[in-house]
A and B are shown apart, each in its own frame.
Chain A
Amino acid sequence: MVDARGYSCPIPVVMVQRAVKAENPDSLTVLVDEQVCVENVTRFANASGYKVTVTRDGEDYRMELKK
């Protein structure tokens, strides 16, 4: 789980990049609170071989990354 709420890009993408590099997980949950971070994390995740589903949770976005 990467909780990047409150962080502005590119920090959330860096957090996801570090998590992917460290453990190369098959699935990863990422929490962000800006639309622009959803876009940026999705681009990075797709390029790293993950499929992304996004659900809105109040003011936050819950992103599920799956290989």
Chain B
Amino acid sequence: MKKVNWLVVLAGVLVGVAALALSALGNPANMGFCIACFERDIAGTLGFHSAALVQYMRPEIIGLVLGALCMSLVKGEFRAKGGSSPATRFLLGALVMIGALVFLGCPLRMILRLGGGDLNALVALCGFACGIFVGTLFLKKGFSLKRTYTLSAAEGAILPLVLVVAGVAFVLFPALFKISTEGPGSMHAPFFIALLIAVVVGALAQRSRLCMVGGLRDAMMFKDFKLLYGFVAIFAVTVIGKLLLGGMGWGKLTPFNLGFDGQPVAHSNHVWNFLGMSLAGWGSVLLGGCPLRQLILAGEGNGDSAVTVFGMIAGAAIAHNFGLAGKAGVAAAEAVTTNAKVVLCCGFVILLVISLVNLPKAAKQKA
């Protein structure tokens, strides 16, 4: 087990390089990839929420799913299945999204932000680890969302098809969609280049099983550090890339900037950054993987993960329609609304209930 898994390191390096390249090509700073932000932008471009600054059809999401789909077909791992508590997963997906949007980033963007010197992400990482730890306590007691069943291939094709149709419609008929003219939604790498990069990343993420939650979870539960190497590789590549290339002014890449203040698309409300990512970490452990991993699993034909992705998109719409998302670039005290605080607290109660009711009978009686 001490053997380093080079495939996952390679995947981590590639994700890091791809994220730097996407930022240099036009994606928002420290947001080469952000599964939560990009699904939020897709919710926006479809008109599910009306936050004018975050509306765009992000090709990265489409590409990641297609890359995983192609690789799983080539390797004979594509298998349509589902039926493991889909409604619970939809709700968990929405809660993970809300937690991530309070902090302003999914676990992957948290590492990219940290690699860019954003110390708010370090606070979030502590919260994320705590959330994962709580989740593993329930896993050890036998928590499970019950088994999946093999389904017809059509079930596994739903999410890839929906995303392809949305992407094609966006390219052919952009007037049908809402597209940000300012703010993060207006900042993006060229559509087809981003799509191509994401396909490659999705394929390698499928092979390597890269997962931001899995890294810490497996280290805590099994002393298995395989996935954590990927996590560390992304961080290392981002730090080096930002220090070297950001300083040289590579495209639109911003330089490494250590500190809490003035970070791009971020705020410094430490308590709620911590709690937001705690909720995301705990919820992701119950789901069996981080938002990136859910996209990859959905590409492999997992209908439960597809439902989770739909739940995340719904969560993003809720987050913006009810003012739950963190506000970037304002004073820490104003960054997180009362609505968000109330919903996050309710979110923890919901996670506790889901964690308890899905324990085996014997463990439930003890608890």
1/0 per residue, CB under 8 A from B, across A14-55: the answer is 100110000000000000001110011001101100000000
Contact between B148 and A8 (Cβ–Cβ < 8 Å)? yes
Contact B214 A6 (CB under 8 A): no
The segment from B50-58, B139-147, B255-263, B326-334 found at the interface with A is: B139-147
Cβ of B139 and Cβ of A6 under 8 Å apart? no
Which of B84, B139, B150 is close to A8, meaning CB atoms less than 8 Å apart? Answer: B84
Contacts of A39 in B (CB 8 A): 209
Q: Taking A11-B144, A14-B142, A17-B222 as contacts, is the C-beta distance between A6 and B288 under 8 angstroms?
A: no
**Cβ–Cβ < 8 Å partners of B155 in chain A:** none
- Residue contact B224 to A6, C-beta cutoff 8 Å: no
Q: Is the CB of A36 within 8 A of B224?
A: no
Q: What residues on B are CB-neighbors of A17 within 8 Å?
A: 221-222
Q: Kindly list chain B residues whose C-beta atoms are within 8 Å of the C-beta of A36.
A: 77, 209
Is the C-beta of B226 less than 8 angstroms from some C-beta in chain A?
A: yes
Docked-complex contact A44 and B147, CB < 8 angstroms: no
Q: Which listed residue (A6, A8, A13, A43) contacts B1, Cβ 8 A? A: A43
Q: Are B144 and A47 in contact (CB under 8 A)?
A: no
Q: A6-B149, A8-B148, A8-B288 are in contact. Are A47 and B226 (CB under 8 A)?
A: no
**Closest-CB distance, A4 to chain B (whole angstroms):** 9
Total residue contacts A-B, CB cutoff 8 A = 56
Q: Is A57 an interface residue (CB 8 A)?
A: no
Chain B residues 131-166 with CB under 8 Å of chain A are: 139-140, 142, 144, 147-150
B77: chain A residues at CB < 8 Å are: 34-36
**B223 neighbours in A (Cβ, 8 Å):** 47
**Nearest-CB residue, chain B, relative to A11:** B144
* A12 shortest CB reach to chain B, Å: 10
Asked if A10 and B147 make an inter-chain contact with CB atoms under 8 angstroms apart, the answer reads no
Q: Which residues of A contact B224 (CB under 8 A)?
A: 40, 43-44, 47
Q: Residues of B contacting A10 with CB < 8 Å?
A: 139, 214, 217-218, 221-222, 288
State in angstroms the CA–CA spacing of A11 and B139 once bound together. Answer: 7
Give Cα distance in the complex from A17 to B75, angstroms. Answer: 28
Is chain A's binding surface mostly helix, strand, loop or mixed? Answer: helix
User: Are B148 and A6 touching (Cβ within 8 A)?
Assistant: yes
Judge whether A44 and B222 touch: CB under 8 Å.
Answer: yes
- B77 to chain A minimum Cβ distance, whole angstroms, is 6
> In the complex, A46→B223 CA distance in Å?
12
Distance of A43 Cα from B288 Cα, bound (Å): 18
Bound together, the chains give a CA A18 to CA B288 distance in angstroms of 18
- Closest Cβ of chain B to A40, distance in Å, is 8
| The residue from A5, A9, A35 contacting B288, defined by CB atoms under 8 A apart | A9
In the complex, what distance in Å separates the CA atom of A20 from the CA atom of B184?
50
Kindly state the separation between the CA atoms of A5 and B243 in the bound complex, as whole angstroms: 47
Instruction: Give the Cβ gap from B168 to chain A, nearest Cβ, in Å.
Output: 31
B55 to chain A, nearest CB (A): 33
> Smallest Cβ distance from B144 to chain A, in angstroms?
5
B83 to chain A, nearest CB (A): 9
Nearest Cβ on chain B to A49's Cβ, whole angstroms = 11
Q: Are A47 and B147 in contact (CB under 8 A)?
A: no
Closest chain A residue to B302, Cβ basis: A8
B150 and A59: CB pair below 8 A? yes
Contacts A/B (CB < 8 Å), 14 sampled: A6-B81, A6-B148, A10-B217, A10-B218, A10-B221, A10-B222, A10-B288, A11-B139, A14-B221, A36-B209, A46-B1, A47-B223, A47-B224, A59-B79
